[in-house]
Amino acid sequence: MNWVVDDIIVEVEHRSVRSLRLTIYPDGRVKLVIPYFTTESQARQFLLSKNVWLKNKLSQINERKQVEQDESKVMLFGQWLPIVQTQVSGSIGVVRFADELRLYCRLDTSKQQKKAMIDAYLRNELYKYLTLSVERYRVEFQEKTVTWKIRNMKTEWGSCMAKKRSLLFNLQLAHKPLPLIDYVVVHELCHLQVQNHGPQFKQLMTQRMPDWEIRKKRLNN
């Protein structure tokens, strides 16, 4: 059974659960699991209360799909860059010239190979920026040496393993403006000191990056 709530199609299922469960799948499907004891009116009211959150999440999914599927342009650090393909017989690769990316590929280069080349370019650009950003803030906050990696993650922009002093950053950050990447860096560095998101963590974030809440909102929206 499907409901349509403010132009959003929601799959509805009644099950023996304790509370309402709202899930957004990576492909954009929305599913609501309703306990048997919950009325339809209560369930619809719950959906309406989640309306802004739903739209924000679906917008993020659509943006990601656009970035992944559009073969004529790519977003790098918040800027759309057209991709200009040039056939070559020798070395292949991606080079940036002014406000465009030039994709040098052979005639038999597949779409998957082209995508892999673009992804490798994005990873390299993100790696270069994170190298500067992590070191800058690590020194500023007088933190000991940390290690970090880039990984394609589905649900988090970054993560911190405080005991190992190791950080992970989402490859999708390559699409985001630099100030928002800096926010994620500071966020994960703060987790070296505070491993939760309670008042002490927020106080530390405010001390280290006074406008962090504005950056967080921009990143998640």
CA 105 from centre of chain: 29
Strand order across the beta sheet in which 21-24 lies: 2-5, 8-15, 30-35, 21-24
Three-state secondary-structure class, residue 23: strand
Give CA–CA dist 128/123, Å, rounded. Answer: 9
pLDDT at 7: 80
Average pLDDT estimate for 164-178: 95
pLDDT at res. 210 = 96
- Residue boundaries of the structural domains of the chain: 2-67, 68-121, 122-220
Q: Which of 41-45, 122-126, 175-179 has the lowest mean pLDDT?
A: 41-45
- Best CATH choice for the domain 122-220 from the list 3.30.2010.10, 1.10.10.410, 3.30.750.24, 3.30.1360.30: 3.30.2010.10
Q: What angle do CA 106, 96, 186 make, to 5 degrees?
A: 125
% of the chain exceeding 90 in pLDDT: 63
Distance CA 136, CA 166 (A): 16
Kindly report, residue by residue over 63-108, the tens digit of the pLDDT. 766 655 456 888 999 999 999 888 888 888 899 988 899 999 888 8
Look up residue 152 and give its two tokens.
């394609």
**Spatial distance between the Cα atoms of 122 and 38, rounded to a whole number of angstroms:** 47
Return all residues near 119 (Cβ < 8 A) that are at least 6 apart.
171
* Cβ atoms of 186 and 137 closer than 8 Å: yes
- Please give the average per-residue pLDDT across 200-217, as a whole number: 96
pLDDT at 21 over 60: yes
User: What confidence score (pLDDT) does residue 67 get?
Assistant: 55
